[in-house]
Amino acid sequence: MYKYRCSYCKVETTDINGLIENHKKDCTYRKEQEETFKKTISQKSHIDVNQIRGADETD
């Protein structure tokens, strides 16, 4: 049977166990997930972000 590994940090998914923290700290996938998480938080805490985006789209 194959064991699946993260294609970036090569940690086995059985060790990752669904937790982003279990990827290595320099893992590209982990960094991407953490960036997505930060963006989600900022969108929830700063409603003005949508207004800024709207202004950019009118350019």
Which residues lie near Zn ion (CB under 5 A)?
6, 8-9, 23, 27, 29
Nearer Cβ to Zn ion (10/38): 10
Which residues, 6 or more positions from 13, have their beta carbon under 8 angstroms from its beta carbon? Answer: 3, 4, 5, 6
**Measured from the CB of residue 41, what is the shortest distance to Zn ion in angstroms?**
21
Q: How are the residues of the chain apportioned to helix, strand and coil, as percentages rounded to the nearest 5?
A: 60, 5, 35
To Zn ion, the closest distance from the beta carbon of 40 in angstroms equals 20
- Closest to Zn ion by CB, 29 vs 34, is 29
